[in-house]
């Protein structure tokens, strides 16, 4: 149980188990066994990725149980998992879609491995950052996985398709308990495992189909959590705060505070839980602004790059408007309690 109800990144109202990563992994193992026994699918890649993901999963699980694993150590374990995936599964990002950089990566394979390890570790951390409200991380991850599954099917990559669809199933099972009532949290183990597999499927999809799947396809797919992380680092450095220090200024937290005005001031658990769960759909919508064009233009590199720029501009514009209390009125959800009648009313 997570009984710590205070802190800048705590928005639950009752002690809640934060070991959701365990049933997510169990769901993936069930899918792996089913694929092996029932349909005879080649599961060697699936096995390699799950084994490679154990270091970062276990580091997250120890943090969930003890709260004594520093973010730096979890990031190091994410790098270790990425290194194992590169070794066992051949998950190496040898192209970024930038001609001169690609030439260097082709000439220096070790640099490509280091770049892959850094990118995978970054996505693990980014996925953990957006795991702040009921259904947020799980919903965004399912949308990204659906896009990865679609492109895997389009290029005929059945092993990656099986892994992506298995993850969708495991996360749907998790979301049944996590959204909307928040009966269980993914925890660091769940968020880091999901982030690791999202990154590895992306790296493999690009690496196994060079010249077909643009490296900017997974970049656009995951630009919301990735840019959220980069912007958070920039924001904290600008305030001369430690880059890894928790705060309450993430985009999803600003949405919760400034847009979801549901029974603000009430301390009743049912209203607090409802307000928490109403935050995730806002961010699902934000993520779809990158996921939908990524699915449409997964082959067209210049359009993917343009959409990345447009998403960043949209993010910065909306974040600035929210922080300055100038949010578009149609985005604000109002609901307050009528003191005289004791009933809630929507203005």
Predicted local distance difference test score (pLDDT) of residue 40: 58
**Regarding beta strands 344-345 and 333-337, do their DSSP bridges make them parallel or antiparallel, or are they unpaired?**
antiparallel
- Exposed / middle / buried, residue 270 (Cβ in 10 Å: 0-12, 13-18, 19+): exposed
Question: 128: annotated binding-site residue?
Answer: yes
Residue whose entry in the numeric block shows the structure tokens 């990725």: 49
Looking at residue 198, its pLDDT comes to: 98
Edge-first strand listing for the sheet containing 260-262: 260-262, 333-337, 344-345
Q: Which of 268, 273, 263 is closest to 336 using CA atoms?
A: 263
pLDDT at residue number 340: 43
pLDDT at 190: 96
- Rounded to an integer, what distance in angstroms lies between the CA atom of residue 119 and that of residue 122? 5
Tokens of 194: 């999901």
Instruction: Please give the Cα distance from 329 to 306 (Å, whole number).
Output: 28
Tokens of 15: 């002690």
Residue 88's Cβ-count burial label (10 Å; 0-12, 13-18, 19+) is middle
The DSSP symbol for 257 reads I
The answer to whether the Cα torsion of 164, 41, 156, 91 is positive or negative is positive
Q: What is the pLDDT of residue 35?
A: 82
Q: What is the largest CA-CA distance in the chain?
A: 74
Q: How high is the pLDDT of residue 37?
A: 78
172's CB contacts (< 8 A; 6+ apart) are 142
**Predicted pLDDT at 53:** 97
Which class for 340: exposed (0-12), middle (13-18), buried (19 or more C-beta within 10 A)?
Answer: exposed
pLDDT averaged over consecutive 10-residue blocks of the chain (347 residues)? Answer: 58 77 96 79 87 97 92 94 95 91 92 96 95 95 98 96 96 95 94 97 95 96 96 86 73 93 78 90 96 96 97 96 92 69 51
The reply, when asked if residue 247 is annotated as ligand binding, is no
> According to the model, what pLDDT value does residue 338 have?
47
pLDDT of residue 41: 60
| pLDDT in the model for residue 267 | 73
Pairing mode of beta strands 333-337, 260-262: parallel
């Amino acid at each position: 149980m997570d009984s710590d109800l205070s802190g800048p990144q705590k928005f639950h109202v009752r002690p809640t188990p934060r070991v959701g990563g365990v049933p997510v992994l169990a769901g993936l193992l069930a899918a792996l066994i089913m694929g092996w026994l029932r349909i005879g699918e080649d599961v060697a890649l699936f096995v390699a990725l799950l084994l490679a993901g154990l270091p970062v999963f276990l580091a997250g699980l120890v943090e969930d149980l003890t709260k004594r694993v520093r973010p730096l150590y979890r990031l190091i374990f994410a790098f270790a998992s990425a290194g194992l995936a590169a070794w066992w599964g051949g998950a190496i990002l040898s192209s970024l879609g930038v001609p001169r950089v690609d030439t260097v990566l082709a000439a220096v394979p070790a640099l490509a491995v280091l770049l892959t390890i850094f990118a995978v570790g970054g996505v693990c951390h980014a996925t953990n950052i957006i795991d702040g409200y009921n259904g947020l991380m799980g919903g965004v991850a399912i949308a990204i996985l659906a896009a990865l599954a679609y492109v895997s099917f389009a290029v005929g990559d059945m092993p990656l398709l099986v892994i992506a669809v298995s993850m969708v199933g495991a996360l749907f099972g998790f979301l049944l308990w996590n959204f909307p009532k928040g009966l269980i949290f993914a925890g660091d183990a769940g968020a880091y495992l999901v982030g690791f597999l999202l990154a590895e499927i992306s790296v493999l999809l690009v690496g196994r189909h060079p010249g077909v799947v643009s490296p900017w396809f997974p970049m656009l797919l995951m630009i919301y959590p990735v840019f959220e992380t980069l912007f958070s680092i920039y924001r904290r450095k600008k305030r001369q705060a430690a880059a890894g220090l928790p705060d309450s200024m993430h985009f999803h937290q600003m949405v919760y505070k400034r847009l979801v005005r549901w029974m603000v001031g009430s301390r009743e658990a049912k209203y607090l839980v409802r307000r928490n769960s109403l935050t995730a759909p806002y961010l699902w919508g934000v993520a779809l602004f990158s996921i939908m064009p990524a699915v449409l233009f997964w082959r067209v590199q210049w359009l993917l790059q343009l959409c990345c720029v447009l998403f960043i501009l949209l993010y910065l514009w909306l974040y600035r408007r929210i922080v300055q209390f100038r949010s578009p009125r149609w985005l604000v959800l109002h609901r307050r309690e009528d003191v005289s009648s004791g009933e809630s009313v929507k203005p």
